[in-house]
Amino acid sequence: MTKQGARMAVVATAIGVMLLLVWGHSAAAQQASFPRIARGINTWMARAMDACTSNNVTVVSPGLPPGGCAQSNTVTDNTLGMNYVKLRVNRNGKIGLLGTGFTLGDSLRVRMTLRVTKADDPPSSNQRVTFADFTVDCPLAPDAFLVRPNGSVVGRTDFTTCLSPNTALGTGSNIEIMSASLVNAATGQVVASPGILK
């Protein structure tokens, strides 16, 4: 083998190894499989409070951080009452809301930030596409879950209609619910978030 032939073989081998590394990395990054089962979420909701951004209260009780903030509901809702709320999103695309302690005339929506990965787009391509995170309100305005005379709210809506105009995202997709909250439909302020009262 000549020197030139040896150089060509080394260069070709190096290029081949680099291409394998690049293709292997790309393929590995794109091949995480969807779960076999993800039946939905079913969560209780706790009252939403404003975030504590700068401590203004000193705490001396043992087992607690040394500082915090006085409770505030300026950014979050401070007008609606609430005893309890339960949110359910099932695999059939139904959103259910059950709660009490509200006042006749209150109107509520479920707000979710979603990350959707669609399988086979275009169809039969075996390619998956993850879309930018987006936020939806359910039901879509002007509709809302209306509180009954006894202060309860019982509502259902279809998840796919909340995705309008991108309703095709509701099928053949891996849908991550990055956040969920209950909002006052009149003001858009958050009333409750998934949580516990302990």
CA distance 180 to 113: 7
pLDDT 10s digits, 14-27: 455 454 444 444 44
| HSE of 144, CA atoms in CB hemisphere, 13 A | 17
DSSP strand pairing (84-90 vs 94-100): antiparallel
Whether omega for the bond prior to residue 123 falls within 30 degrees of 0, making it cis, is no
> Can you spell out the DSSP letters for 61-105?
STTS-SEE-----SSS--S---SEEEEEEETTSEEEEEEES--TT
The pLDDT assigned to 193 comes to 96
Contact criterion met (CB below 8 Å) for 45 and 76:
no
pLDDT 10s digits, 32-84: 777 878 888 999 999 999 999 999 999 989 999 999 999 999 999 999 999 99
Instruction: Return the higher-pLDDT residue of 142 and 122.
Output: 142
CA distance 74 to 190: 10
State the pLDDT confidence band at 87, using cuts at 50, 70 and 90: very high
| HSE of 49, CA atoms in CB hemisphere, 13 A | 10
% of the chain at pLDDT higher than 90:
60
Mean pLDDT, the chain, whole residue set = 85
140-154 mean pLDDT: 96
The model scores a pTM over 0.95: no
